Chain A
Amino acid sequence: MSASWHHAPAWTAVAAAGTAFIASLASWSRGGTAIDIPWAPTLGLRLSFTLDGLGALYCLLASGIGVVVFGYGACYLPLHLEHERESPGAQWRFWPWMALFMAAMMGLALAQDLVLLFVLFDVTAVCSYFLIGFDRDRREARVAALMALVVTGVSAVAVLIAAVLLYTERGTTSIPALLAHSGGGTTMTVAAVLLAVGALAKSAQVPLHFWLPRAMAAPTPVSAYLHSAAMVAAGVLVVGRVHPLLARSQAVLDGLLAVGLASILVGGALALAKDELKQVLAHSTISQYGYVLVLYGIGGPAGAGAAAFYVMTHGIAKSALFMTAGTVTMATGEDRLSRVGGLRKEMPLLATASGVAAATLAALPLTLGFFKDELFFKAALEAAWPMRLAAVGAAALTFAYIGRFWMGLFLGTRRVTAHPVPRLLVVPIAVLAAVALLGGVFVEPFARVAADAARVTHGSVVVLAPAYHLDARPENIMAVAAWALGGLALVVPRVWRSTVRTLATVGDRLGPRRGYTAALTAVDHLSGVLHRLEVRDLRNSVAAVLVPGGVLAALGFAATPTAGAYEIGRIAPGDDLMVVALLALVVIAALAVAAARAHLHLVLAVSVVGFALAAVYAFLGAPDVALVAVVVDTVTSLVFVAAIARLPRDVLDRGGAPPAPPSGRRWRDVLVGAIGGLALFGAIWGFLSRPSLDQGIAAEHIRLAPQAHGQAVVTVILADFRGLDTLAEITVLAVAVVGVATLLRRGRLW
């Protein structure tokens, strides 16, 4: 396999992302498009995708950032694999996941159905599992991958539960139909909270944020894509999509606001405290999506517009910064702020490009970022006054940590030598920086995308007019105050250093990650205990089937009406007497099984039970069942006899009895048998004496059998009416035999 062959998937992914970007742009500029095909008609589920404003924003973000990051990754990944001493062929298990992730993300952006949303949520979670755990030989990568999967996957179930709740309440899971209904109620509020929980976990918001810093074990292109503009954006995308549902309850909006503020604070403070480059950026992401949630919590046209604009700007800046971290690590071999510095001379282009990205995040003028904070402050001005203070504080925090990050990399004394890196590790960052600068001058196209997205969130037209104003309006004063506070924090780090370090330590000791680890350990322990209990000996294995089966059946009885059931019918002379006699034989044989002392007696008694039951079937007019019972019972008996014939002589001579259990266990065995037996007895009795014996499909089968050219109904059902079931069953048989061959003879069938 030539080396260029291994590069094929990367460039295919780049091409796919480019095509998707152009297609999204073209479709959006023509007013959008929609696909709507039935999926599960009986449930009213439809595969419905609409490219509206919100969908366009996230599609453009996912595919546009996708092109840049995939191009970066095409250069980065081979170097990474070389560093990890992996073969270049490993690219083949990277890019398909990356491309699938992009497809799922774009599907998520367009999906108009809650169930579809849930499915695509899970697709992104599964992709992220394989991408975060790409370096599968490293333990922390595997742990991080599992953590991301569990946290985002389990919380995605909240979205499904919300969908089911809304379905029972409104009879649909289609988002536009749900939004069209007015009115609230407890169910609606609970569903709204559940939707928010699923979204918050995906966007790594407090207290479900701990998976994101861990996920930094992923290769840099994964972080630059998933953890800046894609996976974490999926959460706020959902909030933006179902915002009118959430907005029906002020408490839910206040909850969003509180979670957002907590995330800004926790993420921002930890971003100041962390030393590893990617950890700083990960905590910054937590903090930045906190902003978006705050804006959705404020709501209204200003909040919705600012949130959409914020997501777009942050995605561009943050993926550039993640790629910067990757390039610096690739050039110097260091991944900590305390080990690098003064790289501006050696890497001037990188320093400039990432400087623009950092300025965008810090909201300096002449970058797209300035307007994100302008809109943010404007929205904050419409909220209560504590919100204004919080907004300035948040912006100052962002300024401080991102300033610390950039200055730590490029200013100060030089601590390491940087090796030259391929140009493709710098150019994508420069491209994103150019976009951010362009937006700083011509903001109108960006504002139009955001306004169109906000129209979906808000439900009516939103006007966004970000612009430079050289006057003393409150937004400008707030921005200047934020820069001043942030700059002050950068100049005198003594003020905050001990505080954030304490916070970081407390977070490590008492943070929610501990809860996650404890829960995982507890589940693992429980599983281990159950497993040991079940496999300890044969009796336990049998009990593990009988007891849960019996208990479940008993619970079923408790919930079923019993009027008229459990009656003892009349015994008519004739065939009925024969059946009773045969059943009596079954009882005697069953007792003989329990009392048998010799192996052979036991086997023979079991087969008497089987044959007598077969005779009962025959008398009750089911000759097909009887025939199957006879042949199967004969096979079973033959297998037993063949096995006994091979037992060592001394085992058979030792009275032939199976070893007696200890006396305490014996009573337990009786109890287990009684639970299983009585539940089964009750089930069969209740079924046979059902007051209105509902023939159901059976009568229809009998009526139709002659039309299918058959007289034997059972055969006709097996081969015709339920042919697909039979096919599935015999396929299982074929698979099972391959499994046996694999276990016994290393896959040789003969």
Chain B
Amino acid sequence: MTIAVRAVARLLLAPSLVVAVAIMVKGYSDVGDGFSAGVLVALAVSLQYVAYGRRGAEAALPFLALAPLVAGTGLLLALAVGFFPLLGGKPIFTHWPGPGVHPTRIGTLEMLTAVVFDIGVFLLVVGVLVILVHQLADDEPPAP
């Protein structure tokens, strides 16, 4: 890959993550949700793989190896939000707070279990896609 691609890939990484987090957090009141945010993160990561090859990308970003953990956490988080209401005798996917109750706010952020579920989706999508890229990627970047 050319120098330009490598430079662009490195430059785009941080802004992509920021945008992804923004999409994620504002998902409940604005465009976007956990899925698109997750794909966006995976996009930024796979750009690193394309530019630097598997070894290069994973040396520069060692936390990528946490992907299976991230995926598992996401799935468990989503499952927990879905099924915890059963413990209280409520139907599955009963979200809290219910209709008409004002949610707690931190700044402009509203605390909702639905958002926690969406975060689970986000983590799972990130983890799964990064694992897939890792599995499919070559060890070395192609010759420029």
B39 touches A723 (CB 8 A): no
4 nearest CB pairs, A to B: A707-B99, A723-B93, A749-B68, A715-B33
Contact A733 B125 (CB under 8 A): yes
Q: Which residues of A contact B32 (CB under 8 A)?
A: 624, 627, 712, 715
Contact A741 B110 (CB under 8 A): no
Main secondary structure of the interface of B (DSSP, over half): helix
Q: Measured between alpha carbons, how far is A718 from B35 in the docked complex, in Å?
A: 10
A43 within 8 A of B: no
Given contacts A624-B32, A711-B29, A750-B131, 8 further A-B contacts (CB under 8 A): A623-B31, A711-B28, A712-B28, A719-B114, A726-B78, A730-B125, A734-B75, A750-B134
Minimum CB distance partner of B103 in chain A? A709
Interface string of A66-94 (1 = CB under 8 A from B): 00000000000000000000000000000
Measured in the bound complex, the distance between the Cα atoms of B120 and A730 in whole Å is: 9
Instruction: Evaluate contact between A709 and B131: CB separation under 8 angstroms.
Output: no
Tell yes or no: A140 within 8 A of B by CB. no
User: Which residues of chain B from 73 to 122 have any CB-CB distance to chain A below 8 Å in the complex?
Assistant: 74-75, 78-79, 81-82, 92-93, 95, 97, 99-100, 103, 110, 112, 114-115, 117-118, 120-121
Which A residues contact B (CB, under 8 angstroms)?
623-624, 627-628, 631-632, 634-635, 638-639, 641-642, 645-646, 707-712, 714-716, 718-720, 723-724, 726-727, 730-731, 733-734, 736-737, 740-741, 744-745, 749-750
Give B35-64 as 1s and 0s: 1 = Cβ < 8 Å from A's Cβ atoms: 110011011001101100000000000000
Q: Contacts A632-B39, A638-B43, A750-B131; is A719 near B33 (CB within 8 Å)?
A: yes
Known: A627-B31, A741-B135. A727 touches B43 (CB 8 A): no
How long is the Cα–Cα vector from A711 to B39 in the complex, in angstroms?
22
User: What residue in chain B is nearest A737 (Cβ atoms)?
Assistant: B128
A723 CA / B114 CA spacing, docked (Å): 9
Q: CA of A730 to CA of B131 in the docked complex: distance in angstroms?
A: 15
Contact status of A730 and B121, CB under 8 A, knowing A641-B50, A708-B95, A740-B132: yes
Residues of B within 8 A of A709 (CB): 28, 97, 103, 110, 112, 114
Contact B103 A627, beta carbon cutoff 8 Å: no
What separation, in Å, do the CA atoms of A639 and B39 have in the docked complex? 13
Give 5 pairs: A residue, B residue, CB < 8 Å, sorted on A.
A638-B43, A715-B32, A737-B128, A737-B132, A744-B135
In angstroms, Cα B129 to Cα A639, docked, is: 12
**Nearest CB of chain B from residue A41's CB, rounded to whole Å:** 16
Name B71's closest neighbour in chain A (CB-CB): A734
Contacts between the two chains (Cβ within 8 Å), count: 136
Bound complex: CA of A638 vs CA of B82, how far in Å?
A: 34
Rounded to whole angstroms, the CA-CA distance of A371 and B139 in the bound complex is: 83
Quick one: which of A632, A712, A733 contacts B124, CB cutoff 8 A?
A733
Alpha-carbon distance A710/B30, docked complex (angstroms):
8
CB-based contact A733/B128 at 8 Å: yes
Known: A723-B82, A740-B132. A716 touches B114 (CB 8 A): yes
With a cutoff of 8 Å between Cβ atoms, the chain A residues found around residue B103 in the complex are 709
Check A624 against B39 for contact (C-beta < 8 Å): no
Please name all residues of chain A whose beta carbon is closer than 8 Å to the beta carbon of B68 when the two chains form the complex. 749-750
- Asked if B114 and A624 make an inter-chain contact with CB atoms under 8 angstroms apart, the answer reads no
Docked Cα-Cα span, A634 to B129, in Å, equals 14
Kindly state whether residue B14 has any CB partner on chain A within 8 Å: no
Which B residues lie within 8 Å of A716 (CB)?
Answer: 28, 114
Question: B67 near A723 (CB under 8 angstroms)?
Answer: no
A718 to B119, CA, bound (A): 12
- Residues in chain A near residue B97, CB distance under 8 A: 709
Q: What number of B residues sit within 8 Å (CB to CB) of A?
A: 55
Q: Which of A624, A639, A708, A718 meets B31, CB within 8 Å?
A: A624
Give min CB distance, B109 to chain A, whole Å: 12
Within 8 Å by CB of A645, from B1, B115, B135, lies B1
When distances are taken between beta carbons in the complex, the residues of chain B under 8 Å from A720 are 93, 95, 114
B92 touches A724 (CB 8 A): yes
CA separation between A730 and B36, bound complex, in Å?
13
Report the minimal beta-carbon distance from B57 to chain A, rounded to whole angstroms: 12
B65 cross-chain contacts in A, Cβ below 8 A:
750
Complex contact B47–A638 (CB within 8 A): yes
Are B131 and A638 in contact, with the CB atoms below 8 A?
no
A623 to B23, CA, bound (A): 12
Considering the chains assembled together, what is the distance between the CA atoms of A744 and B131 in angstroms?
Answer: 12
Q: How far is the CA of A710 from the CA of B124 in the complex (A)?
A: 22
Known A-B contacts A638-B50, A642-B50; the reply to A707 vs B95 at CB < 8 A is no
Expressed in whole angstroms, the Cα–Cα distance for A631 and B125 within the complex equals 13
Among candidates A628, A645, A727, residue contacting B50 with C-beta atoms closer than 8 Å: A645
* A639 to B, closest residue via Cβ: B46
Contacts of A707 in B (CB 8 A): 99-100
> Which of the residues B42, B100, B128 comes within 8 Å of A734, measured between beta carbons?
B128
Contacts of A711 in B (CB 8 A): 28-30
Q: Mark B1-32, 1 if CB is under 8 A from A, else 0.
A: 10000000000000000000001000111111
The minimal Cβ–Cβ distance linking B85 to chain A, given in whole angstroms, is 11
B138 neighbours in A (Cβ, 8 Å):
646
Q: Are B131 and A712 in contact (CB under 8 A)?
A: no
Among A641, A714, A730, A745, the residue within 8 A (CB) of B78 is A730
Is the pair A638, B46 in contact by a Cβ cutoff of 8 Å? yes
Q: Which residues of B contact A744 (CB under 8 A)?
A: 135-136
**Residues of B with C-beta under 8 A to A737:** 71, 128, 131-132
Residues of A within 8 A of B1 (CB): 645
Which residues of the partner chain B approach A726 to less than 8 Å between Cβ atoms? 78, 117, 121
Cα separation A635 to B35 with both chains bound (whole Å):
13
**Which chain A positions have C-beta within 8 A of B92?**
724
CB distance from A146 to the nearest CB of B (A): 37
Instruction: Specify which chain A residues have a CB less than 8 angstroms from the CB of B93 in the assembled complex.
Output: 720, 723-724
- Bound CA–CA A737/B135 (angstroms): 10
CA distance A714 to B121 in the complex (A): 14
Q: Which of B34, B39, B79, B142 contacts A646 (CB 8 A)?
A: B142
| Contact assessment for A723 and B117 in the assembled complex, using a CB-CB cutoff below 8 Å | yes
Is B99 a contact of A645 with CB atoms below 8 Å?
Answer: no
CA distance A749 to B75 in the complex (A): 15
| Nearest Cβ on chain B to A147's Cβ, whole angstroms | 42
A634 to B47, CA, bound (A): 11
What CA separation (Å) do A720 and B50 show in the bound complex? 36
Q: How far is it, in angstroms, between the C-alpha of A606 and the C-alpha of B74 when the chains are bound?
A: 32
CA distance A631 to B35 in the complex (A): 10
CB distance from B100 to the nearest CB of A (A): 7
Q: In whole angstroms, what is the CA distance A62 to B9 when docked?
A: 71
A200 CB to nearest chain B CB (Å) = 44
Looking at the assembled complex, report how far the CB atom of B75 sits from the nearest CB atom of chain A, in whole angstroms. 5
Decide: B29 and A645 in contact? CB cutoff 8 A.
no
Please judge, given known A-B contacts A710-B29, A727-B79, A749-B68, whether A628 and B35 are in contact too, CB under 8 Å: yes
Smallest Cβ-Cβ distance to B92: which chain A residue: A724
Complex Cα distance A716/B27, Å?
9
CA distance A718 to B122 in the complex (A): 12
Complex CA distance for A68 and B134, rounded to whole angstroms? 59
Q: Which residues of B contact A710 (CB under 8 A)?
A: 28-29, 112, 114
